[in-house]
Amino acid sequence: MEERFLGTGGLRVSAMGFGCMSLSAAYSPPGTQGEMVALVREAVEKGVTFFDTAEAYGPFVNEEIVGEALQPVRDRVVIATKFGFDIDYVTGERRGGTNSRPEHIRAVADAALKRLRTDRIDLFYQHRVDPAVPIEDVAGAVKDLIDAGKVGHFGLSEAGVETIRRAHAVQPVAALQSEYSLFWREPEQELLPLCEELGIGFVPFSPLGAGFLTGQIDENTVFAPGDFRNYVPRFSPAARKANMGLVEVVKRVAARRAVKPAQVALAWLLAQRTWIVPIPGTNKIARMNENLGAVDLVLTPEDLAEIEAGTVHFNVQGERLPEAVLKMTGL
């Protein structure tokens, strides 16, 4: 598979990564832990080298799945995980809010290393900015972990421009992870230009708009109990109906190219910058194989122009996250 670099520190990953959250939570019920381990190993065999997890996914069980799956091939892959929520790093108790105090970061790193069955975290993200802790202190704590050999590179998730600049001045940021897709193009305004200026890679999560850009969802779709989309304003039946015009653009290009809509949406992201690495997630092998097919899909200038004309001014209905989550992200 094609490889790309995140940041300027030599972090090389597959052009398409694997978002691991759905292995244990958030969407449709996952399979057994053994089935999810097998899925991750199948991704490795298909050329994926970049796997994204977090202590908060579970908590902990997601890192445990990833650790078990990747231990036999550890030197062939790049593992990213995250700190930053106020979770007891021993019991997994969620205490609410954020916690990026340096001592907590160090404890989370040590606990994650054990769950991931490794001696290093290749990319360690701050999951959400902590308003109570100066970002310079956060970057300094990660710098210390890098100097100690426990962490390879520093990342930020859902951070704003000023925060990124301040962090980068203390410890170079290799990657910024934020939502980005044809369903959410706000990063084009400030974040992508900043990443280009500073030499920071960009990792879009939810690159298929939480499944909406696959063309398999409409206003009549019923999500499983526990699926987070049941609580997202953008996925209300009315919003889904209003937003179908966006999907129709993708479907037209997909039909002409004889590919799947999801592959067009992912190929569009890959075409935006050479340092963008999407991390679509799934708990199904067929869907994973479909997503990976996007790496070989080269959209023509005509394809890209049609997508741009049909989507750039589309007024997407519904907030991308519940209000409480939006307040927490500061975005």
Measured from the Cβ of residue 107, the count of other Cβ atoms closer than 10 Å reads 15
Cα separation, 177 vs 169, in Å, equals 18
Residues in CB range of 27: below 8 A, 6 or more apart: 210, 211, 224, 227, 228, 229, 281, 283
Angle among Cα 204, 207, 1 to the nearest 5 degrees reads 80
Are the beta carbons of 278 and 271 closer than 8 angstroms? Answer: no
Measured from the Cβ of residue 199, the count of other Cβ atoms closer than 10 Å reads 16
Are the beta carbons of 56 and 69 closer than 8 angstroms? Answer: no
Measured from the Cβ of residue 139, the count of other Cβ atoms closer than 10 Å reads 22
Q: Which one-letter amino acid corresponds to residue 216? A: Q
> β-strands 94-98, 85-87: how paired?
antiparallel
Active-site hit among 27, 57, 89, 180: 57
Q: Crossing angle, helix 261-272 and helix 285-292, to 10 degrees?
A: 40
Examine residue 72 and say whether the peptide bond preceding it is cis (omega within 30 degrees of 0).
no
With b for 16 or more beta-carbon neighbours within 10 A and e for fewer, the 201-235 pattern comes to bbbbbbbbbbbbbbbebeeeeebeeebbbeebebb
Strand partners, 111: none
**Can 57 be counted among the known catalytic residues?**
yes
Are the beta carbons of 269 and 204 closer than 8 angstroms? Answer: yes
- Give me the active site residues, please: 57
